[in-house]
Amino acid sequence: MSLYLLGINHRTAPVELREHLAFDPATLPATLNGLAALPGVLEAAILSTCNRTELYAAIDASPDVIRRWLIDKTPAGTDLVPCLYELDRENVVAHTCRVACGLDSAVLGEPQILGQMKEAYRLAQAQGTAGPYLHRLFQHTFSVAKKVRTQTAIGESYVSAASATVELARQVFSGFDKRTAMFIGAGEMIELTLKHMHSQNLGQAIIANRSLDRAHSLAARHGALVIGLDQIESQLHNADLVISCTASPERILEHSQVRDALHRRRRKPIMLMDLAVPRDIAPEVADLPDAYLYTVDDLRQVVMENQAARVKAAEEAAGMIEIYTGEFSRREDALEAVPLIRSFRSQTTAVRDQALAQAQRQIAAGKPIDEVLERLADTITKRLLHEPSTQLREAGEQGDRELLKVASRLFGIGKDA
């Protein structure tokens, strides 16, 4: 059995392709069970975010079936293969640690991915698709991420995707105090972005969400107006800025809706930021005059401008990950030897018990104890050395120097011998 990872992320594929593999949270349990049911897949977990979709598995056969399963999730004719990356064994461990520490994120060092990874593991546990291999992988990963966060500056003054969104908006608006922002969705990304904008003295916030209870809970903390998704069209013309991040598999804003809102605004511009994967806002909106549409990929430029201070911390974190990956691999290798050690001990114990029983019978029959003990020691020695001696003799006759070297190391016999 070995660890295997298959993925696609913001570095290997544009949002147009990633959105086809962004699994709907509502159907993710069934999707995970489908992955775990594939031939040769013994354990499985799925990490699905706006920037990446990664399949983690413990397998005992070829991973081709997993690759084909993922490719079948994309529309016909989509060439997914060049965008995929595959890792195995210790490479899975190193990559998983890098992801958890935020070293592979669009925003270097961002902390949200760790929570998303923990949620992916919790789901795998709940569905019964995570076993001992993935348990050791994720527990090791979470431990390393904690050490990296506390022992380096990777998490200090971090620039999250939410704060990067606000930074991008600041490049368009000189201030937010006289602006109205519409937030579509009420998840973690929307909450963080609203929090950042509220701290920048946002004039008015409108939260549009399918679940009004969730939206009211969020609005109460920031003095926002709450509307249902069916009211977006009637309120859209009031928004200078629209930030959308839902898990909807269907579009939230269509070209015609934004066009009509701009008409009502008398061509006063609207900035729209689509942070969802799949996208919430029709891409054609970007073609409208006075509509400025950005996606998650557009955050990269803002992020790159804030990376310099984190480079040193990232290098320190990478060094720590390399060390801890080596420790993990050594522990895994040691675990592979456990069944062999148990079998060897069981075999030698059986030899001992058999010889001891024979000796006890001889003593009971009246034979001299010294003679019985000498025979006992001789019997145990011969039985334990018989098979190794036979194998070493054959190795010598066949010129198997590798086995002879291993035996020398195993039995602690020096080169002179």
Q: For residue 341, what are the CA distances in angstroms to 250, 354, 386?
A: 56, 20, 18
List residues with catalytic annotation: 50
Residue 157, sorted as left (phi over 0), alpha (psi -120 to 50) or beta, turns out to be left
Kindly report the number of other CB atoms within 10 A of residue 278's CB atom: 20
For 16, counting Cβ atoms within 10 Å of its Cβ (0-12 exposed, 13-18 middle, 19+ buried), the class is: middle
What's the DSSP call for residue 382? Answer: H
The dihedral sign for the CA sequence 364, 370, 375, 376: positive
What is the C-alpha separation between 228 and 208, in angstroms, rounded? 5
What is the C-alpha separation between 5 and 77, in angstroms, rounded? 24
Token couple for 84: 């995929």
Beta bridge partners of 8: 53
Question: How does strand 2-9 pair with strand 52-59?
Answer: antiparallel
Of the candidates 202, 207, 229, the residue with the CA atom closest to the CA atom of residue 218: 207
What is the C-alpha separation between 30 and 73, in angstroms, rounded? 14
